[in-house]
Amino acid sequence: MPSLKSYNTFGLDVRCSQLVRVRSKAQLEGFILENNPLAESCIILGGGSNVLLLGDIERPVLRNEIKERSVVSESKKHVIVRAGGGENWHRFVRWCIREGYGGLENLSLIPGSVGAAPMQNIGAYGVEIKDVFHSLEAVNLKTGKTRVFKKAACAFGYRTSVFKERLKGKYFITSVNFKLDKIHQLSLSYGAIQTELSNRNVSNPTIKDVSDVVIAIRRSKLPDPKEIGNSGSFFKNPIIKSAKAKNLKKDYPTIPVYPQADKMSKISAGWLIEQCGWKGKKMGGAGCYKKHALILINRKNATPQDILKLCAAIQESVSQKFGIDLIPEVNFIK
């Protein structure tokens, strides 16, 4: 059975019955036609950067390797760019910057593939993919038919979309179109970006400056999956009632609270986990990253069970101490 060790950024040595490297839509359509109904139960992998593989997979794994970068249309102000689902996300972002297309610079250095990006509505430093998303094409694994999804049909939310909920596992995203700016509008609201820009004496930043700064910030606190296996933020930042957040603030004045719509507030999961003493702690082959408590790492030949045990222990502590349930952001795959 082929190993998926180099296809998941946690670096877990899990196997699958068959690994299919999908390089074109035609190849995928042919596979579905020949393997009906098995194709419906296949697992889809992109960059493998937001998954926890729970054990060997007794079904084929379809790895998205469809490559394409092209301009679909342009006007004076905007450009619609199309990227293959198997494109590396960061390389695509840097290509857009070189071409002078703005909008993706805050999302620099996020590990993973273009096709996986809309699934969890990736976001960082004040920008989410939904802000620049135009549409996507996806192939139904049951029928082999292509469907175009516009923004509303994707039901984007905080680190989620219809592809993580109602249509989970049903569609293979072959390409994504983005609406980018030729006249740039920078998102500099995130404090760390401004600090880093002024450290560099940049007063009139370009999209490349913003991208470079985001890369530096990420490198300073997030582990490189090539060196330390991890899946980025392991949990979502919990969204709780503002009244409860206000009470917590009385007991814990330093708790980071970000007010949201509808009398709700977002709390930093990393802060909650650190307060429970987990930052830098080890448990079996797994660990909680020493520079950022929201990142669980494969410290030393971790098994999926090592990561699961650490996940459960952290959830238990945060629930005991703060009465808050942490929900994993990473997709668990059985």
Residues assigned a catalytic role:
159, 233, 329
Separation of alpha carbons 134 and 115, rounded Å: 13
240-259 residues near ligand EPU, rule: CB under 6 A? 256
* Range 206-242 burial, b when 16+ CB lie within 10 A, else e: ebebbbbbbbebbeeebbebeebbbbbbbbbbbbbee
Residue 181 CA to residue 104 CA, distance in Å, equals 10
CA–CA separation, 105 and 102 (whole Å): 7
Quick check: 248 and 255 in contact, CB under 8 A? yes
**Quick one: 120 or 135, whose CB is closer to ligand EPU?**
120
280 binds ligand EPU (CB under 6 A): no
Binding mask 117-156 for ligand EPU (x = CB under 6 A): -------xx-------------------------------
Stretch that binds ligand EPU, among 32-40, 51-59, 179-187, 270-278 (CB under 6 A): 270-278
CB of 233 to ligand EPU, least distance (A): 3
Structure tokens at 172: 């293979």
Q: Which residue has the tokens 């930093």?
A: 268
If you ran DSSP here, which 8-state letter would residue 163 be given? T
239 lines the binding site for ligand EPU (CB under 6 A) = no
Query: For the window 195-234, what string marks contact with ligand EPU as x by the rule CB under 6 A?
Result: -------------------------------------xx-
CB of 117 to ligand EPU, least distance (A): 11
- Candidate segments 2-10, 56-64, 176-184, 269-277, binder of ligand EPU by CB under 6 A: 269-277
- Residue choice 25, 63, 90, 279 for contact with ligand EPU (CB under 6 A): 279
**Contact at 8 Å (CB) between 20 and 38?**
no
Q: Tell me the window of 11-19, 75-83, 264-272, 305-313 that interacts with ligand EPU (CB under 6 A).
A: 264-272
Q: How far apart are CA 262 and CA 265, in angstroms?
A: 9
Q: What is the distance between the terminal CA atoms of the chain, rounded to a whole angstrom?
A: 16
Binding site for ligand EPU (CB under 6 A): 124-125, 232-233, 236-237, 256, 268, 270-271, 274, 279, 292-294, 329
